[in-house]
């Protein structure tokens, strides 16, 4: 038995075996998380230092600012990361910082996120775009509640690859039993979260052991990869296994002879001749042309920023989604979602928020249903979600929303909630499923819906009384089918 605890619980992704990453591949985005003082900033500083991302003048400044140096004669790497005055004063990381480094094989964007519970929102921010999460634990302390919280948020956000960095391993005398214990504990946690790809590495970020350089001499029994080797072989997450999706950002009309819909492909692929539907109206058209600055293209795939020209006059506006006719997302007035509450006010039941998804912004009523107990890992009933809570909620819209489940397509399954009172981003959310009925939600309680011809509505809104209460009045343009659904909801 090779007796190495680093083996992934699942076999490594096949791409890693067959096609080694090169310098030209897209950057791997990663997040580091863990509790305070586990050494995250030190680890990233060490990654930057050993991959030669720190230039000479920066090194001079670093040595000057480091003050008392450790007995290795090295500067305080954390100062490379904690760039804000308040962070330096308090010796902690407050806000997420993005750093860039590269090896001969690949480039990396690393989000260094705070360990403090009060800054969990910044950790969630970093996790939302990451392909891989490094979870640090202090070898002396083992897994903490913050480890569980961070691993849970990372997995909710769809991260499937974890690296467990058992740091400060020199301080437990490189004891293999300690490593086995922590990595087994963590793998049990990861499995419970549905994460099957875990690489555990014993390391000392301070001394640079098993970060970029192998520590074979002090940890001879460890035969697994270093951290950088693991990162070089990690896979980018795709999460876009749907039909064609183009959330329309803007309509381009440089002249009367051209009308194009601009956006970034959020799933699938498209080519001229394809039949597409425009949601939520449901109109159908064919793709005439894919225009970009350099050339008229034969095809576009997920990630491409394009301008789409259709073969007929249809009504398309910002916030609409152009999708493949035969593989459409779900549209409806009610969805289930998981959210992370990010602000001190939490998420208040029944409150109406702005929801932004892709280029679409609409009003939504949020009804919390359950909250995750991070100690037990179990879902508990909840009526309100406090800051940093992870919850399940029901979303009720006034007009049709368009989503894919998040685990099928990150680009069309994610959203943020904005508090209309403060304009602050109060939650990040992931769609789990469409609801077929509104359940017990009184989505329209206390509100009156008036249907008026648009010219009359505009005249009314211009009056002094209504103008002063303009924020309370919503106008919208709906199709007959949606209007009917709304009326049915009210009648029911």
Partner 1 sequence: MHVHASEFDPHSKDPVTKPPLDPHLKALENEAIYIFREVAAEFEKPVMLYSIGKDSSVLLHLARKAFFPGRVPFPLLHVDTGWKFPEMIAFRDATAEKFDLDLIVHTNPRGKEEGIGPFSHGSSHHTDVMKTEALRQALDAGKYDAAFGGARRDEEASRAKERIYSFRTPDHKWDPRNQRPELWNIYNGMVRRGESVRAFPLSNWTEVDIWRYIQAENIELPPLYYAKSQKYVERDGMLMWAEDPRFEALPGEQIQEGMLRFRTLGCWPLTGGIRSQATTLDEVIAELEIATVSERQGRAIDRDQAGSMEKKKREGYF
* Minimum distance from residue 172 beta carbon to partner 1 (Å): 32
Six token digits for residue 405: 């489940």
The nearer residue to partner 1, 386 or 442, going by C-beta atoms, is 386
Phi and psi at residue 267, to the nearest 5°: 175, 150
* Minimum distance from residue 30 beta carbon to partner 1 (Å): 13
CA dihedral 158, 113, 129, 433 (to 10 degrees): 40
Q: Which stretch binds partner 1 (CB under 8 A): 55-63, 216-224, 365-373, 397-405?
A: 55-63
Q: Find out whether 305 and 257 touch, Cβ atoms under 8 Å.
A: no
The correct pick among 264, 330, 370, 479 for binding partner 1 (CB under 8 A) is: 264
The correct pick among 162, 183, 415, 482 for binding partner 1 (CB under 8 A) is: 415
The nearer residue to partner 1, 295 or 448, going by C-beta atoms, is 295
- For every residue of 82-105, DSSP letters joined together read --SHHHHHHTS--S-EEEEEE-SS
The nearer residue to partner 1, 142 or 272, going by C-beta atoms, is 272
Residue numbers 58-77 binding partner 1 by CB under 8 A: 58, 65
Q: How do 275-279 and 321-324 pair as beta strands?
A: antiparallel
Q: Which stretch binds partner 1 (CB under 8 A): 214-222, 323-331, 409-417, 450-458?
A: 409-417
> In which element (H, E) is residue 426 found?
strand 425-434
Q: Which stretch binds partner 1 (CB under 8 A): 161-169, 182-190, 371-379, 407-415?
A: 407-415
Long-range pairs, 473-477, Cβ under 8 A, ≥24: 474/363, 474/398, 476/398, 476/399
The nearer residue to partner 1, 464 or 471, going by C-beta atoms, is 471
Six token digits for residue 323: 């999708």
The correct pick among 252, 330, 370, 432 for binding partner 1 (CB under 8 A) is: 252
* Minimum distance from residue 327 beta carbon to partner 1 (Å): 22
Q: Find out whether 306 and 300 touch, Cβ atoms under 8 Å.
A: yes
Any idea which residue has 């000057």 for tokens? Answer: 64
As a whole number of angstroms, the distance between CA 390 and CA 370 comes to 9
Evaluate the omega torsion of the peptide bond into residue 23 and state whether it is cis, within 30 degrees of 0.
Answer: no
Smallest CA-to-CA distance from 321 within 254, 438, 409 is with: 409
The nearer residue to partner 1, 166 or 308, going by C-beta atoms, is 308
The correct pick among 1, 2, 14, 57 for binding partner 1 (CB under 8 A) is: 57
- Note whether 187 binds partner 1 by CB under 8 A: no
Q: Which stretch binds partner 1 (CB under 8 A): 31-39, 219-227, 414-422, 451-459?
A: 414-422
- Note whether 467 binds partner 1 by CB under 8 A: no
As a whole number of angstroms, the distance between CA 228 and CA 50 comes to 10
* Minimum distance from residue 195 beta carbon to partner 1 (Å): 20
* Minimum distance from residue 432 beta carbon to partner 1 (Å): 16
As a whole number of angstroms, the distance between CA 151 and CA 358 comes to 26
- Note whether 24 binds partner 1 by CB under 8 A: yes
Q: Which stretch binds partner 1 (CB under 8 A): 141-149, 376-384, 418-426, 446-454?
A: 418-426
Phi and psi at residue 101, to the nearest 5°: -150, 165
The correct pick among 11, 141, 191, 250 for binding partner 1 (CB under 8 A) is: 250
Phi and psi at residue 213, to the nearest 5°: -105, 140
- For every residue of 144-170, DSSP letters joined together read -HHHHHHHHHHHHTT--EEEEEEE-GG
Residue numbers 361-400 binding partner 1 by CB under 8 A: none
Six token digits for residue 106: 């690949």
Residue numbers 81-140 binding partner 1 by CB under 8 A: 81-86, 88, 94-100, 107, 109, 121-122, 124-125, 128-129
The correct pick among 47, 80, 205, 308 for binding partner 1 (CB under 8 A) is: 80
- Note whether 220 binds partner 1 by CB under 8 A: no
Six token digits for residue 362: 């609409």
- Note whether 318 binds partner 1 by CB under 8 A: yes
The correct pick among 69, 286, 292, 380 for binding partner 1 (CB under 8 A) is: 292
**Cα 136 to the chain's mean position, in Å?**
20
Residue numbers 25-44 binding partner 1 by CB under 8 A: 25-27
Phi and psi at residue 416, to the nearest 5°: -120, 155
The nearer residue to partner 1, 271 or 378, going by C-beta atoms, is 271
* Minimum distance from residue 77 beta carbon to partner 1 (Å): 13
Contact characters 143-182, partner 1, x per CB under 8 A: ----------------------------------------
- Note whether 301 binds partner 1 by CB under 8 A: no
Residue numbers 271-290 binding partner 1 by CB under 8 A: 289
Residues in the chain: 492
- Note whether 346 binds partner 1 by CB under 8 A: no
Six token digits for residue 190: 């990861």
Q: Find out whether 30 and 110 touch, Cβ atoms under 8 Å.
A: yes
């Amino acid at each position: 038995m090779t007796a190495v605890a680093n083996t992934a619980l699942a076999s490594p992704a096949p791409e890693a075996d067959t096609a080694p990453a090169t310098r030209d591949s897209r950057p791997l985005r990663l997040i580091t998380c863990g509790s305070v003082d586990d050494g995250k900033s030190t680890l990233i500083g060490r990654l930057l230092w050993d991959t030669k991302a720190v230039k000479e003048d920066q090194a001079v400044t670093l040595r000057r600012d480091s003050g008392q140096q450790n007995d290795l004669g090295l500067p305080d790497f954390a100062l490379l990361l904690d760039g804000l005055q308040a962070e330096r004063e308090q010796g902690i990381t407050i806000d997420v910082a993005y750093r860039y480094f590269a090896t001969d094989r690949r480039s990396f964007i690393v989000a260094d996120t705070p360990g403090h519970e009060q800054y969990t929102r910044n950790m969630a921010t970093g996790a939302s775009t990451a392909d891989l999460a490094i979870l640090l634990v202090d070898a002396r302390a083992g897994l903490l509640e913050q480890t569980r919280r961070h691993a849970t948020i990372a997995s909710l956000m769809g991260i499937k690859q974890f690296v467990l960095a058992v740091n400060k391993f020199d301080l437990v005398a490189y004891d293999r039993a300690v490593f086995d214990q922590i990595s087994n504990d963590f793998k049990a946690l990861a499995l419970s979260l549905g994460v099957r790809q875990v690489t555990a590495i014993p390391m000392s970020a301070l001394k640079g052991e098993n970060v970029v350089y192998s520590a074979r001499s002090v940890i001879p029994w460890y035969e697994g990869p270093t951290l950088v080797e693991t990162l070089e072989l990690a896979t980018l997450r795709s999460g876009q296994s749907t039909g064609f999706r183009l959330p329309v950002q803007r309509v381009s009309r440089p002249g009367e002879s051209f009308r194009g819909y601009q956006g970034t492909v959020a799933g699938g692929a498209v080519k001229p001749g394809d039949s597409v539907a425009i949601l939520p109206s449901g109109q159908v058209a064919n793709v005439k042309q894919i225009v970009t600055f350099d050339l008229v293209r034969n095809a576009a795939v997920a990630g491409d920023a394009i301008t789409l020209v259709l073969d007929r006059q249809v009504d398309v506006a910002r916030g609409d989604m152009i999708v493949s006719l035969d593989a459409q997302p779900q549209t409806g007035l009610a969805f289930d979602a998981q959210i992370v509450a990010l602000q001190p006010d939490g998420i208040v039941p029944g409150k109406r928020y702005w929801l932004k998804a892709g280029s679409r912004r609409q009003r939504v009523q949020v009804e919390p249903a359950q909250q995750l107990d991070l100690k037990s890992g179990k879902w508990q009933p909840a009526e309100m979600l406090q800051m940093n809570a992870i919850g399940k909620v029901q979303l009720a819209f006034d007009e049709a929303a368009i989503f894919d489940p998040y685990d099928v397509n990150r680009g069309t399954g994610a959203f943020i909630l904005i508090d209309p009172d403060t304009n602050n981003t109060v939650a990040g959310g992931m769609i789990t499923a469409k609801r077929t009925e509104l359940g017990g939600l009184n989505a329209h309680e206390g509100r009156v819906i008036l249907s008026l011809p648009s010219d009359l509505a505009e005249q009314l809104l211009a009056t002094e009384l209504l103008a002063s209460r303009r924020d309370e009045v919503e106008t919208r343009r709906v199709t007959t089918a949606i209007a009917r659904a709304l009326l049915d909801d009210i009648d029911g």
